[in-house]
Amino acid sequence: MSKHIELILPIDIDSVKGFLSHAEGEALFRCASTLAQGAVAVEIGSYCGKSSVYLGLGCKATGSTLFAVDHHRGSEEHQPGEMFHDPQLVDDTGAFSTLASFRKTIRAADLDDSVIPVLSSSAQFARAWQGELGLVFIDGGHSLDAALLDYRSWAGSIAQKGLLAIHDVYPGSEAGGQAPITVYRLAMASGLFKEIMSVDSLRVLERL
């Protein structure tokens, strides 16, 4: 990662709901800021846009594009009665929805030209996608089935020297769910990736 582009946050990132540490966000920014002009990144799981800002700023600096993929109805853990449910993110129909918050975040960060929201499930968009990707960030559903589907849907589209970033990789269940680390181990065991960065719970792999 030879390029050095300064991260300047245009918004108060701490005001954006999300589960990404600033150090992890800076790492995502550095990853996106190495993309070639015209390259494409895909983010699986945007929530209210915190990670999208870091990735989007990196893409904006390099003339690349981020597709932010999320159905915005929340993962299993965001539903009523679950550990990470936020009653402030319930829309006027009574359903959990992060879409309005996401759009507000992207607009406030002046990223409408660099971040393209995709209102879809990861697997649906993957079926329609054609072409290679410079970066894939997986932070969608954390059930084992959802995480494996995200990996299997997108890993094959990552170009040589492209990056696969996985969030919430915890070595033990006492720290967090084990689906992301299962995906991480699967990627490493495939022989197609090598780890190049570890920041908090974020792991970044490079396609060989």
Q: Which three-class secondary structure state does DSSP give residue 37?
A: coil
Q: What pLDDT, on the 0 to 100 scale, is given for residue 2?
A: 47
Give CA–CA dist 94/28, Å, rounded: 33
* CATH number, domain 17-207: 3.40.50.150
Give CA–CA dist 195/189, Å, rounded: 11
72 noted as active-site residue: no
- Kindly list the domain boundaries of the chain, sorted by start residue: 17-207
Per-residue pLDDT of the chain (208 residues; tens, 9 = 90+): 546 789 999 999 999 999 999 999 999 999 999 999 999 999 999 999 999 999 999 999 999 999 999 999 877 767 676 667 777 788 778 788 899 999 999 999 999 999 999 999 999 999 999 999 999 999 998 889 999 999 999 999 999 999 999 999 998 766 567 899 999 999 999 999 999 999 999 999 999 9
Active-site option among 22, 71, 78, 142: 142
For residue 140, give every residue at least 6 positions away whose Cβ sits within 8 Å of its Cβ, in sequence order, or none. Answer: 44, 45, 69, 70, 75, 122, 146, 147, 150
In the chain, DSSP assigns E strands to 40-44, 65-69, 115-118, 133-138, 158-166, 193-199, 202-207
- Letter for the amino acid at 190? S
* Cα Dmax for the chain: 48
